[in-house]
Structure 1
């Protein structure tokens, strides 16, 4: 059995790490380069970096910050936000990232997934999914809808159907973020995570809602996720990565030891 991954997430706005609740009321909390280095030294398995306003502002990702982060950590590094073309993907990889996360652009132009997979390999292409529970509708049979542009635009696309389509197009991994749970620290959206995990054959990273180590244990077992994204619980020093991993290990969940 593969080890479960613990992945700190750095949401970046105007060059600063920021944190909000349900994608709103963001507060700047630190320098992404310093924070990435800190989490790397603490034993993070990967780092995720999102330029959270690039898509909405229709601008390119901040490659200078990506380069500075890549120079200071030596673990896999995934970058998303404002990536609209294969050239954007190439630039991010050349800046030092190992993976590219496509979200809004992939919803608007699904071919970018297959184009990226063909150019760089599926292992480099992560589908970011921002999902909101809206109840079952005619075109949203699972009850979960895809939302893009940082939670601003509802797309009328069923989350489960989109995950399956993205896998078929060549996505190598899914980072699944529940807008409802984001920043609430009350636990991941287990029903959503299990729904996606059970219906795709690629790794699923659960995102949104971590507050205590028990929440990670739940999503990695009941939610059947392959990895868990964390933010508030480590950004505000409520827990260290070592404490989280020790808890998971003591509860029979295999993790890479720090």
Structure 2
């Protein structure tokens, strides 16, 4: 029997407020995170994700008091990420009420942190977020300074999907699928895969990439970036092995409430959890 597919609203936090942009830029205010968290729990969301999106670049810790405040109004699993770079802070966030912690830049900088967190907290508590973007830059930056001609066709060959850190600001040399395989090997319990190309566009998830990764790995994959309609979520769950779909703006701005999304997914044959009090 397959596990039910999960719907996860995401709270991107900046200066204590929920924000949302497109392709990681152009942020606008989306409301009070505590009120939104309470609302999503009541609506039947399966989990909630809290990402302090500027903690890493501002070189500060995640907003632990806000984590504690949000956890107090929740009765569903709660993942927290942003600025977590050691076991001590991760334990503090779990103590504040989070069920899982998410790391991204810190994992790229020091991959062994994944194993350390898994050993201390258990793999089920460790989510590694992977921000990825399709790259068309040169494979050989030195050679590519010269004007390419037909005799050097490989200079500007697309490089596939690369991993980004620092809130999507910095490209790394990590290839996305290989990095996801390494994340699993190091002991993470779950991957939050965000396509920066699709983020905030509401044009559908990155199905091809999500399918490739979810089939290669045995740990759950949460797909993020591009969910705009119930059909996009249905395609995600029918065309890939992703275990969850994460979205933000469609929920925050009331475009597709969680109960309505689940109702439409159930009608489309997707196995989702329908709370008894959801009225569906």
TM-score, structure 2 normalization: 0.90
Query: What secondary structure does 2:57 align onto?
Result: helix
Q: What are structure 1's unaligned runs of at least 5 residues?
A: none
Q: Does structure 1 conserve the Cα–Cα contact (< 8 Å) formed by 2:139 and 2:159?
A: no
**Matched ranges for 1:10-159 at <5 A:** 10-135=11-136, 143-159=160-176
Q: 4+ residue runs of structure 1 moved beyond 6 angstroms?
A: 139-142
Query: What secondary structure does 1:115 align onto?
Result: helix
Query: What secondary structure does 1:188 align onto?
Result: coil
Aligned to 1:255: 272
Change (3 A) 1:251 1:73: same
Query: What secondary structure does 1:56 align onto?
Result: coil
Q: Does structure 1 conserve the Cα–Cα contact (< 8 Å) formed by 2:6 and 2:272?
A: yes
CA deviations 1:148-167 (Å, max 9, x no partner) are 00111001110001000010
- The offset of 1:28, in angstroms, is 1.1
Aligned to 2:151: none
Higher CA-based Rg: 2
**Number of equivalences:** 258
Query: What secondary structure does 2:273 align onto?
Result: coil
Change (3 A) 1:148 1:163: same
TM-score, structure 1 normalization: 0.97
Q: Distance in 2 between matches of 1:173 and 1:136?
A: 29
Aligned to 2:7: 6
- The offset of 1:141, in angstroms, is 8.9
Q: What are structure 2's unaligned runs of at least 5 residues?
A: 141-156, 276-280
Q: Does structure 2 conserve the Cα–Cα contact (< 8 Å) formed by 1:210 and 1:232?
A: no
Aligned to 1:182: 199
Query: What secondary structure does 1:160 align onto?
Result: helix
Q: Distance in 1 between matches of 2:110 and 2:171?
A: 16
